[in-house]
Structure 1
């Protein structure tokens, strides 16, 4: 018999009249919160279909009176979106590879190998989570400058291997892998590398899928750090190019601007809707276990 997951409230709780008012208030609150988040997205999308005079009209209205589909064609030709999209995906691919290789091996070592002072190392990385990210922007920039990595994609890949949050998330997941599996592989002659590559990684697909969503979101939305380390237009990621050439543009019509923003806004929403189960499952599997 297939078991059903029980929520916070059962069907009996919904039938009790005394619970109707609080449940109704919660539903109204959730609906208001959902509308407050969906409205800016719909407003930007529909403004991309309006004429420029209609976007600036007062009072504003959500739906366009006349649909101008050519706004998206003009926005596509205004900047080289495929180039900036390619740069963003290139950054994402490198960051994900570094995350799997460097952070994966580091987390596996802290979880399954007898590393000296591994508890102290674990708490050291945990302490770094309390440091504001703005405090190490300048040291990272100076280190990359001294290494000659400015204006290269390595300026993104190298810092990706120093994410304490991803390290702790992977370490907590590896802690849930039974040690008997690793010991059995070692008895059969497997090295530590084979245990990591042939046992840990195949069992860690859910957590790596979750990290892929986070890495993709960071690569897609980050604009400040690329504006510091990249000095050539042809190497900008998408967010930096949008900020410099669309948001900061003074002579660009608002309807074209909204059309470009809509094209950039929809892909990450689609990615999240398609892979949201991996996020929830990965956070559950990688959570701290009691």
Structure 2
């Protein structure tokens, strides 16, 4: 932003450019969300009007209640919560020890192992769908949330973020704990994890949001409609559901993750910047 205003110019010009940029960015991100929220409260006939109305001419907030009842969203919310919470728990249980081992235990070929993990991020997800599905089918995990938990367990990006944070932890604190007789498990549980709350909050939010909005993998795993997640269920209802009810369902499905980010956005920013500067 400072490059938009030449050095030596008045602070007023810099403040003006900052305000304008902030307004533009806010409108770009917030306007589509606000449009969907308001459109869900319009009658279906009004949604088809040309030109479209910005505010509903006839307000129908009860559309949200009707969408919840008609599509039985409570069932699919519960299914999605089970998938998201399980994925989060399994991912932390696998990735935290892996990142700690790569950061502090310095295994042989540790850099090569991390490099191979990061290489998996370059592979298109579609390439892995068929072999992963066949593996899950052979294990008898179809229509079972464990299939989604296991898929999210080993996440190379999460391991990388955690390792980078663990690398920046003060060595003096860890050495003092070792002198007091703490083993590696005690050191991880009682020292490293309490110091790592910012980055744990970040990877937790990433894990929950990714599991909440995932579509392709739940679509393949859950052939039983009663076990499907929100993203899959809403797609199944779309052809036979009025547009305003569909929009209401989309808003309700998105509200938890949007609220989660708004509540923990400070932790996300702190976690992403923590450990970036030594000293």
Calculate the TM-score normalised by the size of structure 2. 0.89
Cα distance in structure 2, aligned partners of 1:136 and 1:24 = 49
SS for the counterpart of 1:149 is coil
| Alignment partner of 1:73 is 2:96 | no
**C-alpha distance after superposition, 1:20-48 (max 9, x if no partner):** 3x865665455334323322212211121
Unpaired segments ≥5 residues, structure 2: none
Please list, as runs of the form range in 1=range in 2, the aligned pairs for 1:147-158 lying within 5 A after superposition: 147-158=139-150
Equivalent residues of 2:169, 2:275 under 8 A apart? no
Q: Which of 236, 239, 251 lines up with 2:231 in the alignment?
A: 239
1:185 corresponds to:
177
Q: Which of 154, 159, 165 lines up with 2:157 in the alignment?
A: 165
- Number of residue pairs the alignment of both structures matches: 278
Once the two structures are TM-superposed, the CA of residue 77 in structure 1 deviates from its matched residue by: 0.7
1:195–1:43: structure 2 CA closer, same or farther, 3 Å change rule?
same
Please list, as runs of the form range in 1=range in 2, the aligned pairs for 1:199-210 lying within 5 A after superposition: 199-210=191-202
Q: Which of 214, 218, 227 lines up with 1:226 in the alignment?
A: 218
Cα distance in structure 2, aligned partners of 1:48 and 1:119 = 51
Q: Which of 121, 136, 140 lines up with 1:129 in the alignment?
A: 121
| Alignment partner of 1:273 is 2:262 | yes
Q: Which of 39, 43, 48 lines up with 1:51 in the alignment?
A: 43
SS for the counterpart of 1:201 is helix
SS for the counterpart of 1:129 is helix
| Alignment partner of 1:41 is 2:30 | no
Cα distance in structure 1, aligned partners of 2:208 and 2:50 = 38
**C-alpha distance after superposition, 1:182-224 (max 9, x if no partner):** 3332333222111111111111111111111111211221111
Q: Which of 105, 113, 133 lines up with 2:105 in the alignment?
A: 113
Cα distance in structure 1, aligned partners of 2:102 and 2:268 = 24
Stretches of 4+ moved more than 6 A in 1?
Answer: 12-15
Equivalent residues of 1:223, 1:243 under 8 A apart? no
Q: Which of 74, 77, 98 lines up with 1:82 in the alignment?
A: 74
1:233–1:289: structure 2 CA closer, same or farther, 3 Å change rule?
farther
1:4 corresponds to:
none
SS for the counterpart of 1:66 is coil
SS for the counterpart of 2:54 is coil
Cα distance in structure 2, aligned partners of 1:258 and 1:122 = 42
Stretch of structure 1 that moved more, 104-113 or 145-154 = 145-154
Equivalent residues of 1:107, 1:167 under 8 A apart? yes
SS for the counterpart of 2:57 is coil
Please, what is the CA RMSD of the aligned residues? 2.7
Calculate the TM-score normalised by the size of structure 1. 0.86
